[in-house]
Structures are given as C-alpha cells and as structure tokens.
A and B are shown apart, each in its own frame.
Chain A
Amino acid sequence: MDMQCRQHKAQWLMIFGFFFLLILTSNWACHAFAFSPDHQASIVGSVERRIFGCLPCSRAYLAISYFDHHDSLLESDFHDFLAQEFGPGDFCRGLANDMNVLRLADLHRHLSGEGSHRHLVSTLRFVNQSDAVKWLDSHSCEAVVIERLPIGVFADPFELQHLVHLRVFLDAAVFGDSNLELPSALSNRSIVEIHMDIRNEYLENYETAIQLPLHARYPPLDSSGYARIEIGRPDLFVRCRPKQLQPESCSWTLKNLGAGYAKNVMWQVPCGNEAHTGIVSSITFASALTCALVIVLSAIYFSGSNNIKCS
C-alpha cells in the first residue's frame, strides 16, 4: 500500500514537473522572439477657414458623416469635408451676414483635474453688443464645438448622454473610435461634437464655459515615463434659425466662429517604460510559477499530513 501510494504520488509529481519545465522553456522562447514596438504620434493643429452654409434641421450633427468617407482623422481632410458639406449657399448668405452680430471675443482653454480623468474647459467669451441681444429675441442660436481628439484621449458617449440628460449640454455626440477600453496603440482618433444653447444671459454675462469630461487611454511605451498628449484647437460654429419657423422649410444657417486665439492644451499621461519589458515579464512568470508550485506542494504535503497520513 505504502509502495503503491508513493508510486502514484511520484506519477503526479512527474506531471507537475513536466508543466514546470514546459513553462520555463516557453518563457525563454517568448523572450527570445520579442521585438520592439512601433511608436505612434498624435497629430494636432488647426487651420482657420471661413465656412458658412445651410443645414437642414433633420441633420442633427455637423460631423456625423465624416467617418463615412474617411478612415482616419486629418485636419486638412476634416476642413475639406466641412467646406464641401457646408459650402457657401446663396439661400443662407443673407442670414449668415446678419449672424455677424454674434462674434467671439476670446476662447480660453485649459485642463482641470488630475490623473487620467479630467475636464477640458473651454471658456467662450462673446463680443457684448446690443445688436446680438436683439438678434436672439427673434432667432434660436446654438454654439457648436467640434473637438478633434488625439488618439491618446477619448470622451465617453454614455457619460455625454448623461450630461445631455442633466441639461449640461443641449446635445453631444462622439464619432469615430469611441472604444472606452483600448490603449492608444490600438485606437483611432475621435470627434466630439457639443451643442450649447446661446441665450441672452450668456451675452450679458459675457462668457460661457464648456466642461468636456475626457479620459486618457494607456499611451504607447516611452522611456521618460510620461506621454505628452496635445489637444488642438476646436472648430467653433454658431448656427441660427428664426424662432418663427415653417416646418417644411426648416434649416439652420451655419457660420464658423474661428478659434484663432486658443492655444493647444497639453496633457501628460503616465506610461509604461519599454526598458522594464524583460525584467517585468521574467519576474511575473517566475512569481506565478513559484506561487503555483508552493500551492501544489503544500496541497500534496497537507493532504497527506492533515488528519490523514498516506500509510
């Protein structure tokens, strides 16, 4: 009985020993074939272009169809898209000229908060003039902010919908890659479009602040321990329509406000260091293996000694 028991124990130990050897050899093989990763850089920047045109009321968002025609987000492509989609139209020209009463005096941008979840605060200061207040008596106007986010950050569409529900924004949507989980290296850029109501009180108070919640993705590896993410200037538009509307001929008149004064916003995101790769992988697997073996051996030992002796 004793002999048989020992033989069986030896058989199981051999099986575990085989596992152990397999792990050691395959761990070595993995490191032997490891190669260095590519780095991707985000592209930021903004080109000013004058855009005005007509927009049917059925079209809720300006950027909605950009990704139908483009796979990636480039500034030039995006501005060409806007110019093409909302090029000057005679029908809207008159209203667009009247809309010059709504002018932006200043756009100030900064990041608030710390860590991976922050707010991009854009403060819009309008030129305070009495004509604008009068204009708003007879017209509904919205400020449309289009943020072209770099790869390293994203806005959560569900969080934005929650804010729309709470009436923080009039409307908000995310286009492009809105995956909330993938790291930068496996992601693409996205566009966030936010609509804010322009009301008389904004003009009287002279300014309004838009707080867009943003989240950092895990950036590509870098030896400095931090990745710099640069968020470029947004595209700002104002769209208006008369308050007295005929439903069959409902259209917005759109005009860009220009964001020439705004500076790019920088965000430092902690990232992994490529130099750690070898040591981290080796120690991770060695620890897993050691702890696994300790558990296996103690299971063998205590199953024999705890109340029961394999006699």
Chain B
Amino acid sequence: MGSIDLRRMMLFSAALRLLLVVYGEWQDAHMKVRYTDIDYLVFSDAAAMVAAGRSPFERSTYRYSPLLAFLLVPNSTFHRSWGKLLFSAADLLVGLFIDTILKLRGVPENLRLWSVAAWLFNPFTFTIGTRGNCEPVVCVIILWIILCLMNGKVVQAAFWYGLIVHFRIYPIIYSLPLVLVLSKQNISPAGKPYLWQWSFSQTTSSQSSDIRAAKTSVSWTGPWVFIRGIITRDTVLFGFLSGCMFFLWTAIFFLLYGWDFLNEALLYHLTRTDPRHNFSIYFYHIYLHHQQGFSAIEKLISFLPQLMVQFALILFFAGDLPFCLFLQTVAFVAFNKVMTAQYFVWFFCLLPLILPWSNMRLKWKGLICISVWMGSQLHWLMWGYLLEFKGWSVFIQLWLASLLFLVANTFVLLMVIKHHRYSPIFMPLAKSGMAHARKLE
C-alpha cells in the first residue's frame, strides 16, 4: 500500500512537472514575462558554445562548472527543454532518496510519505526545477552522499563529495560534519555502519544515555582531544579522495579553459560582493562602500558571524548529520553576502530528513514559523518591487526588510532546534556492539 502511495505520489509529481515544463514553453512564446529562469538561457548559451567546440565562458555571466554546460549539450542538439527535464528528474530523485534515507533510519511509512510530500509539493522546489534552475542536481548529489555514508560506502561518498564541491562550492561547509560522523561510525561485520532507528515516543532514559554517549563523543571533549579523535582510516580516505576529485576536475577544466574557468567558476564565488539588492543583510552596506572597495578587515568581519555559527552548529549537532546539514545550510544562506531565492532549495531538500524527529506541530507553531518566514520574505519582495520596477528610492526600507528576514531566519532556526529530538545517525561503539550481540543471540 505504502509503495503504491509513494509511486502514485511520484507519478503525480512527474506529471505536474511535465505539465509545468510544457506550460513554461507556452508562456515563453506568448507572454512578455518569461517562465524560464534567466540562468537557464545562460546555461543553454554556454552549452551551445561547448557543442560548437568553444569555451562555455565565452558566454558572459556563465559562472558554473563546465560540467553543467556539458550536461546541457542536448539543449542545442535534442530540445531546448532537455535541461528542464533533467533538473525535474533530479528533483523527483530527491523525493525518492528522502524516502530511502528515512526508511533506513526506521521512520514509519506514513511519516515518510508526509516528508517526501514536503519536498515534492513544495511550490518553491517544483517551480525551480521546471524553470530551469540547476539546484535540484546539487540536492540529489548531497542526499546520495548521505545515503552512501549510511551504507558504509565511503569511497563513493568521497567521489561525489569532491565532485559536488567542484560543481557548486557551497557544500564545502559540510566537510567538517561529514568527517566528524565518519570518525564516530561503527561498522558491522557486513560492512555497514549501525544506524540509530527512529522511535515515536520521547526518548527513554536508556536511549537518552546512549544518545548522550554518541553526542559527547562528538562535542564535549577538549579541543585537542577533539582534533585527535577525527583522524581515522575512513576520514583520511574520505578527505584524501574527495580532495583529489575536487582538484582533478578543477585541473581538467583549468587545462581546457584556463583562467576564464578559474576566475568565473571558482574565484568569482569566493570573492563575490554584489551591490545590487538581494535578500542578504549586507547588500546596502556593500553598495554604500562599493566606490572605495573593501579592506581585508571588512571582509573578515562579514565572514566572522558566519564562521561562528557554522562552527557552533557543527560542534553541537554534527552527530545528527541531516539535522546538522540542515541547520548549517539555513545559517549559511542567512548570513551569506549574497542571497537569492534559489539558495533556499539547498535547505528545502534537507528539511524532510529532519521532520520525523521534530516535536513541533503544524498547528500552530509550525504555521507560525512558516508565516513568519514567508511574511518577512514577502515584505522584502514588496520593497524590492517598488525599488526595481517602480523606481522608488527605498534602499533603507529594503535593507530594514532584509534585517527583518535575518531575524525571521534566526527565529525559525531556534524553533527548529528547540523542537528537534536529537538523534545521532550512527550508533556509538558500545551500543552497536550490544545490538550486534543481540542479533547473534
């Protein structure tokens, strides 16, 4: 019954996406405002360049890995909607991986379906793939890395991790939690790590002490012990292989396209300071200072709150990997110097992985969180519209709206942390030994 429900849900989602791709074609041809994302046109142009044997970076504002242009070559040879279909397929695969991850963690069927639906029927996500945004590809690889780790496939996880950091850079923030959980996993004789299983009730005192054991092994040790504890065979393997993958792809494309690639696809993202309005709290500050440039100290200050938050979230929550990745991503986007709506997909794909462990009920706390987050975003969009499309000088109001959005993000983050039942992904050594003994009995 469950598998039929999931299948139905997937089929319905696939039909919805297909319909939206077809509708997009119609809107592009008949209406002044395009349905297709402007970036999709950039990808398509870059793909056409690649198909013609030229560099994708000849297309100005193409600032992605050349891999994306290669993926979209059929846009010029097969059909211009190829990329949208590919991204929507990745989007559907994310739904499937959410179900698989939750199944491995012992989440019951109905909860799994609700979680999958939270991704598949999120209007943000299904529109982003069908409009031709490449983020679903990033999401699907991130979830696949989590799956690989849960199945004890460290080499494969490292391969994909190196690739995705080359592809989109931001997943570099996941390196520390990934290494931390790898250093604490205990492999069964079958070669798979022992996984904590989901339980409906509040954790019992024995579970609580087990979780504490798993947690303290990650967090509450002194800094030196903590660093020593990270270095294991698996973590060294993961770090080395993923590093090699990252540098291999980077070297290949550097050889092919030279400094254009390095400047546009890599260095641009690391040094990006965008003075044009975006959700980031820093946009007006950057605009007000753009004529004189930024000193190294200023760049450091805007980076420090980000660094503090990332560091704290990893230290306290790394054991519960999907939860930690979710919090990190929300915080990373909220404190980033540039923030656009497409970045939200980065954490939307991780949200369903933590929903079964949340005590927060939709009525009313859940609804309050959604309303605060959406409300502050709509409020920002209103000022953004007045500035960009009406030509009103409302920079100060827009900046205040972005501060309000940061507060809303912080509020939602706190609510999520407060109502989350911490559950490490892997069992600690003692507990997994007992589980194995029980199995043998």
Contacts and interface: CB of A to CB of B under 8 A. Distances in A.
A303 B420 CA distance: 10
Chain A contact-residue range equals: 35 or more
A218 B276 contact: yes
Given A287-B281, A288-B281, A274 B418 contact: no
Interface in A280-309: 280-281, 283-285, 287-289, 291-296, 298-300, 302-303, 306-308
Contacts of B155: none
Given A299-B312, A306-B417, 12 more contacts: A5-B216, A7-B222, A9-B220, A20-B308, A30-B295, A37-B292, A183-B275, A284-B281, A285-B302, A288-B335, A296-B312, A299-B315
B436 interface: no
Interface in B32-89: 41, 45, 60-61
Interface stretch (A41-49, A82-90, A114-122): A114-122
Q: Which 6 A-B pairs have the closest CB atoms?
A: A37-B291, A270-B393, A292-B305, A225-B393, A303-B316, A115-B389
A53 B302 CA distance: 58
Nearest to B305: A292
B379 interface: no
A276 B301 contact: no
B407 interface: yes
A299 to B, nearest CB: 5
B403 interface: yes
Interface of B: 41, 45, 60-61, 202-203, 208, 211-212, 215-216, 219-223, 274-276, 281-282, 284-285, 287-292, 295, 297-298, 300-302, 304-309, 311-313, 315-317, 331, 334-335, 387-396, 399, 403, 406-407, 409-410, 413-414, 417-418, 420-422
A113 to B, nearest CB: 9
A288 to B, nearest CB: 4
Interface stretch (A128-136, A174-182, A200-208): A174-182
Contact of A181 (B223, B276, B309): B276
A11 interface: yes
Contact of A295 (B275, B394, B414): B414
B291 A185 contact: yes
Contact of B391 (A116, A220, A307): A116
Nearest to A298: B414
A285 B301 contact: yes
Interface centre among A30, A284, A285, A302 (most CB of B within 10 A): A284
B331 A295 contact: yes
Interface string A261-286: 00000001111111011001101110
B60 A300 contact: no
17 contacts: A8-B222, A30-B301, A178-B60, A183-B275, A218-B276, A270-B395, A276-B396, A284-B403, A291-B407, A291-B410, A292-B305, A294-B410, A294-B414, A303-B317, A306-B420, A310-B220, A311-B212
A310 to B, nearest CB: 6
Contacts of B335: 288, 291-292
A221 interface: yes
Interface in A98-140: 114-117
B203 A292 contact: no
A288 B316 contact: no
Contact of A22 (B276, B304, B413, B420): B304
Given A16-B312, A183-B275, A295 B41 contact: no
Contacts of B212: 308, 311
A280 B212 CA distance: 43
Interface of A: 5, 7-9, 11-12, 15-16, 19-20, 22-23, 26-27, 29-30, 33-35, 37-38, 114-117, 158, 178-181, 183, 185-186, 218, 220-221, 225-226, 268-274, 276-277, 280-281, 283-285, 287-289, 291-296, 298-300, 302-303, 306-308, 310-311
A11 B219 CA distance: 12
Contacts of A12: 315
Contacts of A268: 391
A296 B392 CA distance: 38
Contact of A33 (B41, B295, B315): B295
Contacts of A29: 297
Contacts of B61: 180-181
Contacts of B215: 303, 308
Contacts of A283: 403
